Amino acid sequence: MRYDAIVVGSGITGGWAAKELTEAGLTVLMIERGREIRHQQDYTTETKAPWDLPFRGLGDAELYRQQYPVQMLNRHFTEFTQGHFVNDAENPYTTEGDTAFTWFRSYQLGGRSLTWGRQTYRWSDYDFGANLRDGHGTDWPIRYADLAPWYDKVEEFIGVSGTAEGLKQLPDGRFQPGMALNAVESHVRETVRARWPERCLTIGRTANLTQAKPEEGRGPCQYRSICARGCSYGAYFSTQSSTLPAARKTGRLTVITDAVVEGLDYDATTRRVTGVRWIETKTKTRRRATSRIVFLNAGAFNSVHILLNSANEAAPQGLANSSGVLGTHIMDHANTLSALALMPGWEGHTSFGNRPTGAIVARYRNMDTMDGAGHSRGYSFQGGAFQTTWSAGRRDAGIGADYKEKLRHPGMWRMVLVGFADCVPRAANRLTLDRARTDTNGLPVLNVQFAFGKEEHAALAQAKADAAEMLAAAGGQVIAGSDQPGPGGTAIHEMGGARMGHDPKTSVLNRWSQAHDAANLFVTDGAQMSSSACQNPSLTYMALTARACDAAVSMLRDGRI
Amino acid sequence: MGGAALLALALGIPAAAVRLSDLPDEDAPSDRQRSLLREVSQLVIPRTDTPGAGDVGTGDFLALALAHGLSGSRAPVASAAMPNLMRHLRPDGSLRHVDWLEHELDRRAGGDFLAPKADRVRALTALDAEAYAQGADDHPWRTIKTLVLTGYYTSEAGGSRELRYELVPGRWDPDLPATPQTRAFSSDWTAVDFG
């Protein structure tokens, strides 16, 4: 089998690679390790009510403890969505020493594009310049201007609702109308803005449509907020709703599911990848195909796994690893509930519908003034105000008719601010192959070594104080808050491991997401990231993928690869 | 057809909701315990202009949920804090909540909580007050009451008649007037999660 391009993975970036490469005229083989999930037809729990399910939507906790001990910690993991997450027992990984790392995964067609939080933010030059400025990690070989047109392209296609705010640290994009803040959030926005003009609370920029995209068969959001079950309206961006149909329309896409890539073949003479090898998981049969270019989009950690597992005589430390930095400098946002407050005085207000995004407070520290206490980067908040419902009754004494009557009505407004702190890239935070343990396909499992450092702890301490003072200023009674990050992986923004850089001696990829050691190999998922910023990374992955596809096609046409 | 399926038919609730027949013997409630769980559910959420929790099968849901560890109910308990839990522990250190509750309520009712003359409201109210006193955060009654609420408000009657259930709102109204009569939505997933 020979194709122009092979794309490994079908998630947020794999879908984009398949779309861009097929639309440019290339024949593409997309290889997905998990099962097929068809848009609309296979969202089996989408319209179910809690009373239709054996465990009422909470799921079988005993089963989860045994089979899904990591995935069950994900807030989006429920009885409705468990089919969109991996079985941990069947997909093991190991951790090194004291490492606590929760690796949330979705092995299926569409990958985590089906279950993602859909938060969609541009990065700025505060982010692309961060490593150069404070000396952590290696300098990004690109800046905002390199990516801006690709952000435009991606936003217009996937559909992003949001409100333009003119912030330098969080550049505006090509937005559909933003969803509205509720009454309490609007009040907090105005209060905070009056007292701290540099702090902007705005609606989450989200890949949920507020206007239909009929040309792509996608309808507007129905305000159900059950996205991770799968959305037959196609109202949020997923591979299934958006990039896969576009790639299929070209007639040049071949998709294989239930096929886990074992490694890439490499010719040291030509310095080219010469083939992709995979195992059909249902039959345990080995297969191989060749192509002119290869895009790795298996998800940050799994793309690194493939490269490490592709070691051969010419590349004994792993493919594209002459630098020795492959697997190092992994990151995830340090993430915690910075503040939770009761918001009295809003009992006369309520809302209708389930908005599928919260509010955010954009970064405001360490921009033009270095005002971080013990850290040199940024943090931002995501959260929002909501009214409680029946589940709040578990905290209250009482039984009987009066108790029931109280739970019949919406409870008091609350507001949460969850802090996301920039994670400094460190060499000691790294992925290796655990040669002592293999998975059901006989492949070595991934070993994760990860810890947050003093910078992240300092940032979350300042975030906790800031969050409390903002909510208190708006009349809130702060009842909880933390400055301790959850385990690595909590933010589900694990990234790095095949970082981009200027120098082949200290980085894996160049400015085109192209391997320094193999000109026809591109890694365009989270693995390529050289720093983490403090905003959600998926949009940047997509823009980098579209940009790398354009570069790869040009290089192919010019005969350079 | 097993007993659980018959019960489901009798109550008109989906068979999917009840799988007592799948429980291992040691976690399967006795007939008396099933009656007790139904009664306790009904006392927490009684019948008003909508059904009560016992009416809609919450008793059997409790048995299922407690056997399967929902709401942390199979986590090892710190029995040092409550020595009277010791006799109801499983070998793994988790509490057999149903056995404990039966024993506890019988004791408080002077022998038989289900006896016609027993003051069940008083016994359960006293237990509830103790469980919600300062410093009693880990009290097993809190776990059971949490699951009574879950069982009721995720039932069709609790979720869509007592409260409102709207799978497809179709719009977002960010600011509407609320009155003391405004009904909550069981389909407000964020509120359920974070409430």
The string of pLDDT tens digits covering residues B149-194 is 999 999 999 999 999 999 999 999 999 999 999 999 999 999 999 8
Positive/negative CA dihedral, A141, A143, A148, A154: positive
CB < 8 Å from B in window 274-333 of A: none
Name the average pLDDT for chain B. Answer: 89
Confidence of residue B3 (pLDDT cuts 50, 70, 90): very low
Task: State the pTM of this model.
Answer: 0.96
Query: Is A52 in contact with B163 (Cβ distance < 8 A)?
Result: no
Query: Is A387 in contact with B184 (Cβ distance < 8 A)?
Result: yes
Confidence of residue B7 (pLDDT cuts 50, 70, 90): very low
Query: Is A353 in contact with B169 (Cβ distance < 8 A)?
Result: yes
CB < 8 Å from A in window 131-150 of B: 131-132, 142, 145-146, 149-150
Q: What residues have CB less than 8 Å from A467, skipping those under 6 apart? A: A338, A339, A381, A417, A419, A481
Positive/negative CA dihedral, A398, A402, A403, A404: positive
Locate the chain B residue with the closest alpha carbon to A183.
B175
Query: Could you tell me which of A104, A100, A116, A137 has the C-alpha nearest to residue A488?
Result: A100
Point out the residue among B48, B162, B178 whose CB comes nearest to the CB of A349. B178
Question: CA dihedral defined by A31, A34, A37, A42, rounded to 10 degrees?
Answer: 170
Point out the residue among A348, A403, A411 whose CB comes nearest to the CB of B195. A411
Q: Are B183 and A408 in contact (CB under 8 A)?
A: yes
Chain A residues in contact with B169 (beta carbon < 8 A): 222-224, 352-354
Point out the residue among B13, B151, B185 whose CB comes nearest to the CB of A389. B185
Chain B residues in contact with A186 (beta carbon < 8 A): 174-175
Name the average pLDDT for chain A. Answer: 98
Confidence of residue B80 (pLDDT cuts 50, 70, 90): low
Q: Does A47 touch chain B (CB under 8 A)?
A: yes
Alpha-carbon gap, residue A428 to A431, rounded angstroms: 9
User: Does residue B8 surpass a pLDDT of 50?
Assistant: no
Q: Are A257 and A271 in contact (CB under 8 A)?
A: no
Query: Could you tell me which of A10, A13, A70 has the C-alpha nearest to residue A448?
Result: A70
Chain A residues in contact with B192 (beta carbon < 8 A): 389-391
Locate the chain A residue with the closest alpha carbon to B168.
A224
Q: Does B21 touch chain A (CB under 8 A)?
A: no
Number of CB pairs, chain A paired with chain B, less than 8 A apart = 204
Mean pLDDT, residues B94-109: 97
- pLDDT attached to residue B24: 83
Locate the chain A residue with the closest alpha carbon to B22.
A54
Locate the chain B residue with the closest alpha carbon to A221.
B170
For residue range B26-61, what is the model confidence (pLDDT) as tens digits?
Answer: 889 999 999 999 999 999 999 999 999 999 999 999
Q: Which two tokens stand for residue A490?
A: 């909590």
Query: Is A354 in contact with B187 (Cβ distance < 8 A)?
Result: yes
Locate the chain B residue with the closest alpha carbon to A65.
B69
ipTM: 0.94
User: Does residue B15 surpass a pLDDT of 80?
Assistant: no
3-class DSSP state for residue A274?
strand
- pLDDT attached to residue B19: 64
Q: Does B170 touch chain A (CB under 8 A)?
A: yes
Strands annotated E in A297-426: 334-342, 349-352, 359-361, 379-387, 413-421
Of A239-253, A272-286, A435-449, B74-88, the least confident: B74-88
Run of H or E residues at B108 = helix B97-108
Query: Could you tell me which of A181, A461, A435 has the C-alpha nearest to residue A338?
Result: A461
Q: Are B172 and A352 in contact (CB under 8 A)?
A: yes
Confidence of residue B136 (pLDDT cuts 50, 70, 90): confident
Query: Is B184 in contact with A397 (Cβ distance < 8 A)?
Result: no
CB < 8 Å from B in window 52-111 of A: 52-58, 60-63, 65, 75
Point out the residue among B69, B129, B191 whose CB comes nearest to the CB of A62. B69
Alpha-carbon gap, residue B29 to B31, rounded angstroms: 6
Task: Render A425-436 in DSSP notation, one character per residue.
Answer: --TTSEEEEEEE
Amino acid making up residue A423: C
A388–chain B nearest CA distance, Å: 5
- pLDDT attached to residue A229: 98
